[in-house]
Amino acid sequence: MARIIIVDDEKNIRRNLAVFFESLGHHARAAEGGAEAIAALGDEPADLVLTDVRMAEMDGLRLLEEVKRRDPATVVVLMTAFATVENAVAAMKAGAQDYVTKPFTLDEIRRTVDRALELRGLRLENRELRSAVEQAPMLETESAAMRRLLDTARQAAASDATILLTGESGAGKNVLARKIHQLSPRHDYPFVTVNCTTLSEQLLESELFGHMRGSFTGAVKDKPGRLEAAHQGSVFLDEIADLTPALQTKFLRFVQELSFERIGGERTIQVDARIIAATNRGLESEVAAHRFREDLFYRLNVITLRVPPLRERADDVVPLARWLLRAAGLRNRRPSLRFNAEAETALRRYRWPGNIRELRNAVERAAVLCRRDEIAPDDLPDSIFREPGEAAAAAAAGAGQRSPSLEDVEREHIRRVLAETATLEEAADTLGINVTTLWRKRRRYGIE
């Protein structure tokens, strides 16, 4: 049965609806207004929120926005005596599942709620299926090094120790972070991800710590941060090396004390959260170059796990590609897709500098463009068929025939992908990174 929160400023309505849904076997909780409903959500997540539209202080549309921000999977059904097409359109655009007008019968509201919960169940089932298909195999391996990594991760997951994941972009650090959370005693609580590369300093600070209304231009209301959302769960900071010096200082205090203040706020907020951080850069060298705080590095470097690149897991490439193709086939309504032997040989021979992200993109492209049910080599990206070491040889030629460094190889690979694609977005997608990261790498390597 479902957990339902009923929000209405009319006492008789919310009380009668709560009694009715309890009689149907649901767990129902009544709230007089939006603030009380949000407090109830903080105590226990809900499957469905049934709320009036016109209420004092916080109306139903504002409550809808806040519910969806906290948990997009929570279904919201709006009730109103002021039914208009404009209200219905606004509600649906904001994410409402359904819209009922007062007065309604108990049978009408039951059917509406049953339908909304059924759709929610189907969405969750579909999401779980895709997640199982796409994520489960990422950590299945024939690699001895990967198996040792997973054994250590399982042991570390049982503790609350801070974990630092290192490794190249696209190697699967985010998947391992989520797995650690799932194996931990905190698995029933939120797993919150913050990508440190995608926002400006001010927006990232607000995303992490939250802000108070009026604390900066555009702060029109109080907003809790992602760290608050991770209470009792885990917070995963991806690409933590991209934190600015000011944010490193503020985050250091959180790591030490698990407390902070919102931007513009004075109240100290205490949060119980497990910290997992990831980086594709060597933090030791960042510390030596005075780009990363040494004290923060030592706070994060409690348990360090290196996620190996895909080229060090050669035996895993084809099994991963088959799993990814199954997921891509489900998404594109082509469940019978498969690789032929020649295509699997090509996948196995390629070194995958973009790691699992590049493999996923290659498989998705093949699933979309293949005209048959069997994927052949000509359905795969041209880059897969370049001679092994071609990019490295080009980098060596431009560096006095010395052995190419990893940066030389990455620089040449980025230069080649940029030359072969029409836009930065397309290049970033091919490389398996976001546009902001690509822009930073172009600046770092001096690529025009």
Kindly indicate the confidence band of residue 401, based on its pLDDT and cuts at 50, 70 and 90.
very low
Q: Are residues 37 and 91 in the same domain?
A: yes
**Domain shared by 376 and 399, yes or no:** no
Residue 79's SS3 state is strand
Which of 36-40, 129-133, 175-179, 302-306 shows the lowest mean pLDDT across its residues? 129-133
pLDDT at 395: 39
Lowest mean pLDDT among 121-130, 179-188, 268-277: 121-130
Residue 77 lies in a domain: yes
Do both 118 and 162 map to the same domain?
no
Alpha carbon distances (Å) from 287 to 221, 243, 283, 329, 391 = 37, 13, 6, 45, 30
Q: Please, which residues have CB within 8 angstroms of residue 198's CB and are 6 or more apart in sequence?
A: 434, 436
Domain span at 78: 3-131
Q: Determine which of 353-367, 379-393, 405-419 has the lowest per-residue pLDDT on average.
A: 379-393
Over 80: is that where the pLDDT of 425 sits?
no
% of the chain with per-residue pLDDT over 90: 50
pLDDT of residue 195 exceeding 60, the answer is yes
Q: How does pLDDT run across 125-171, given as a tens digit for each residue?
A: 666 555 544 455 667 788 888 999 999 999 999 999 999 999 999 89
246 lies in some domain: yes
Read off the pLDDT of each residue in 301-324 and give the average, rounded to a whole number: 93
Boundary-marking domain end, from 384, 412, 428: 384
Q: Which pLDDT belongs to residue 403?
A: 53
| Last residue of one domain, picked from the residues 349, 384, 419 | 384
Q: Which of 357, 384, 411 is the last residue of a domain?
A: 384
209 and 147 in a single domain? The answer is yes
Q: Check whether residue 19 and residue 122 sit in a common domain.
A: yes
Instruction: Kindly state whether residue 136 falls inside one of the protein's structural domains.
Output: no
Average pLDDT in the 235-260 region?
A: 94
Asked if 285 and 154 sit in the same domain, the reply is yes
392 and 379 share one domain: no
Q: Based on the structure, what is the number of domains in the chain? A: 4
Map residue 150 onto helix, strand or coil: helix
Write the burial class of residue 381 (CB in 10 Å: 0-12 exposed, 13-18 middle, 19+ buried): middle
Same domain, 268 and 153: yes
Q: Say which CATH number the domain at 170 has.
A: 3.40.50.300
Task: Classify residue 240: in a domain, yes or no.
Answer: yes
Residue 100 CB partners (closer than 8 Å, separation 6+): 77, 78, 79, 80, 108, 109, 112
Which CATH number does the domain housing residue 369 bear?
1.10.8.60
pLDDT at residue 250, rounded to an integer = 95
For position 391, what pLDDT does the model report? 46
CATH number (domain holding residue 116): 3.40.50.2300
Are 270 and 349 members of one domain? no
Average the pLDDT over each of 149-163, 191-205, 386-400 and give the range with the smallest value: 386-400
119 vs 270: which has the higher pLDDT: 270
Q: What's the rounded mean pLDDT across residues 307-316?
A: 92
- Residue 137 is assigned to a structural domain of this protein: no
Mean pLDDT of all residues belonging to the chain: 86
In a domain, 444, yes or no: yes
pLDDT computed for residue 131 by the predictor: 55
Q: Please report the sign of the dihedral spanned by the C-alpha atoms of residue 125, residue 127, residue 132, residue 134.
A: positive
Same domain, 168 and 294: yes
Residues 323 and 357: beta-carbon distance below 8 Å: no
Is 138 contained in some domain? no
Judge if 257 and 124 occupy the same domain.
no
pLDDT band with cut points at 50, 70 and 90 for residue 399: very low
Task: Tell me if 3 sits within 8 A of 26, measured CB to CB.
Answer: yes
Least confident range of 101-105, 124-128, 259-263: 124-128
Based on the fold, state whether residues 237 and 333 are members of the same structural domain: no
> Quick check: is 202 in a domain?
yes
